Amino acid sequence: MSVSMKTMRHKLWGAGLAALIVLLGTAFWVFKHTERDLLAEGRVAGNVQLALYQELLRGWLGKYRALPSIYAHEPDVVALLQSPRDPARIATVNSQLERWNATSGALDTYVLDAQGQAIAASNWNSTASFLGRSYAFRPYFKQAMQGRLGRFLALGTVSGLRGYYFSYPVQSAGQIVGVVVVKAGVDGIEQELRLDVGAVFVSDHDGVVVLAGPPHWRMKTLRPLSEDVQSRIELERRFPIAMLRPLPVSGLDAGESDSLVRAQPDRSGRAESGFLHLSKSMTIEDWRLHLLVETRDIRYQSLKAALLASSVILSILLLGLLLWQRRRRMIGKLAAREENQRELERLVTERTTNLREANENLEQQVRERSQAEAELRRTQSELIQAGKLAALGQMSAALSHEFNQPLAAIRTYSDNAVAFLDRGRAEQAGENLARISRLTERMARLSKHLTSFARKPKDTVEPVSLDAVIAETLTLLQARIEGAGARIDNRIPSGIMVMGGQTRLQHVFMNLIGNALDATAQGGDPAITLRSDNSGAALRVIVEDNGPGVPQDALENIFDPFFSTKEPGKGLGLGLSISFNIVRDFDGHLNVENRPEGGARFIVTLQQADAVQEAAE
């Protein structure tokens, strides 16, 4: 073997090794880059899911939160605590508690005297009745006796069923004489949590899993409990200590979100899978909501992208090798022609044949390159389509935020309708069912917006009754308004018609009034004023509150998507952005400013229907 052949062989081995390194490096880079991007998308989608589950939990708790305070003001309950040994009063209150409990759907409702002993209960005629039992050791009793709303999630000492306890003090002549307790069952909300394809669970401040979709994760712990925590749980008789074992999740950090863990949420027997752990704080309940998003598909998609990139690189390398070989062949032919130039006449026919074959090969290569270019254009089109689908997914996530309020309202109206029907008040039940019908029509319109994303159709703008929109909005927010103890001063006169859409305009005012309720939640006397100014062709609808106002540095960004001045976990930052765009679709404006005397003022500028019709005529 000649020196030149050895040198050529060494070069070929070196080129092959370099090509292999490039191929593996590219595949690794594409895998990691794709995995990082897909994990980022999973975080965004997971955080949206967390926000939805957070609102679901708040809606479930809100269904029962106000009940004990209502019952605590009933004259019969107050009279019973004033005369706790009167058999007639006990029988009357027992019957009332039994009816109230059946109407509300709670597990149990009962009355405790100032020493924590149950003197009336909805299960008075049950073998496991609470009557005569002492619950002075329960934190919810101590909280209520301090004059505030008590909250506590624990295992029932008599029933053995987990439940969330709400308690409220009963006062007589300025003194706390007892406590009303409502126990809400957790089976329904855990069925909702169990529907997720991953795993959803809730932990308390001690790291105990109090609610969970996977049944075998309930009453487990995020970490081993200290002796002090175990002693407190035993003293409160919250859960059996023997059941409080760590969760079967490896790599879980109780204080950290956005981490990769391994777990087996179901009991199918399959091996552990990788998950992305996301969590969000629920401040009022001192809970933390957790979500595990499975990463198996992410790794599969990343591997597929790496293989595709490797195939493309390998094709390019093979094409380069083919062209290099072709070049060497042409060089050899040229050298042979120079050496045989003296025999040119004899080789003319042979050379012509060779040139014809070369032309055919070149044509074949041109055709192959044309096919490769067509494949490249097809691949580019698929990438564009994937980008469009990703954008559609983000739009769907944003629109899903708008379904939360109608769903909560539908649940409230349906519960009210059942209660009214049980009491024989068919007219009020019919009104609630009519409202449910309007809300489902609203959700159908929102769903239609999602399906027509590609065309981005503009909804019809027509004359709308402003006072009807405001009235419907205040009705939907009635529970929140009463819960916050807010005063609503509605100065908007009736009969005003504006150009817009009934459903979307209602959504704007629900966002503005809802934000005002949130802003005034910490104040002593929350007040919200609604007024209008129709001095010109345009109508200015003003929503103002007596809260702390909008921070000066946030005024310019308040309508940006995902921008929020609320605490983490209390909003996605989409409400004002969506409202801004809705008003703009109506040829209007949405502005914000701070009141000199304190609080925020949002100004919705709309076209009056009468002025628009006169201009058209």
Alpha-carbon span 432 to 90, nearest angstrom: 34
Strands (DSSP E) found in 273-405: 273-282, 287-294
User: For residue 380, what pLDDT band results from cuts at 50, 70 and 90?
Assistant: very low
pLDDT tens digit sequence for 341-377: 778 777 778 878 888 888 888 888 888 888 876 774 4
Q: Which has the higher per-residue pLDDT, 453 or 369?
A: 369
pLDDT at 394: 35
Backbone angles phi, psi at 131, to 5 degrees: -55, 130
pLDDT tens digit sequence for 571-616: 666 778 888 988 998 889 999 999 998 888 999 999 988 756 555 5
pLDDT tens digit sequence for 111-142: 999 999 999 999 999 888 999 999 999 999 99
Pick the CATH number of 67-185 from 3.30.450.20, 3.40.109.10, 3.30.479.30, 3.40.1350.10: 3.30.450.20
Look up tokens 């794709």; give the residue: 34
Total H helices, total E strands in the chain: 15, 18
pLDDT at 388: 33
pLDDT tens digit sequence for 183-234: 998 888 888 888 776 789 998 888 899 898 888 888 888 888 888 988 998 8
* Mode of pairing for the β-strands spanning 527-533 and 487-490: parallel
pLDDT at 295: 82
Q: Which has the higher per-residue pLDDT, 143 or 333?
A: 143
Strands (DSSP E) found in 439-496: 462-465, 487-490
Alpha-carbon span 591 to 613, nearest angstrom: 25
Backbone angles phi, psi at 424, to 5 degrees: 80, 15
Q: What is the DSSP letter of 563?
A: -
Strands (DSSP E) found in 71-130: 108-113, 118-121
Q: Which has the higher per-residue pLDDT, 503 or 569?
A: 503
Closest CA to 611 of 547, 535, 544, 552: 535
Domain range summary for the chain, segments of one domain joined by + = 67-185, 188-294, 396-451, 462-616
Backbone angles phi, psi at 590, to 5 degrees: -125, 115
Domain 188-294, CATH class in plain words = alpha beta
Closest CA to 167 of 154, 155, 152: 152
Burial of 433-458, coded b for 16+ CB within 10 Å and e otherwise, reads: eebbeebeebeeebeeeeeeeeeeee
What's the one-letter identity of residue 259?
Answer: S
pLDDT at 612: 60
CA 451 to chain centre: 20
User: For residue 399, what pLDDT band results from cuts at 50, 70 and 90?
Assistant: very low
Strands (DSSP E) found in 491-599: 497-500, 527-533, 538-545, 589-594
Residue 458, pLDDT > 50, answer no
Look up tokens 């809400």; give the residue: 184
Q: Provide CB contacts within 8 A for 296, sequence distance 6+.
A: 273, 274
Residue 453, pLDDT > 50, answer no
462-616: CATH superfamily: Histidine kinase-like ATPase, C-terminal domain (3.30.565.10)
CA angle (238 as vertex; 235, 241 as ends), nearest 5: 80
The maximal CA–CA distance of the chain, rounded, in angstroms, is 134
pLDDT-wise least confident of 4-8, 14-18, 141-145, 439-443: 4-8
pLDDT at 96: 94
pLDDT tens digit sequence for 258-310: 788 888 776 555 667 788 888 888 888 889 988 888 888 777 787 887 788 77
pLDDT at 392: 40
pTM score, whole prediction: 0.48
The yes-or-no answer to whether 67-185 and 188-294 have a common fold is yes
Residue 483, pLDDT > 50, answer yes
Q: Are 521 and 484 in contact (CB under 8 A)?
A: yes
On average, the pLDDT of the chain sits at 82
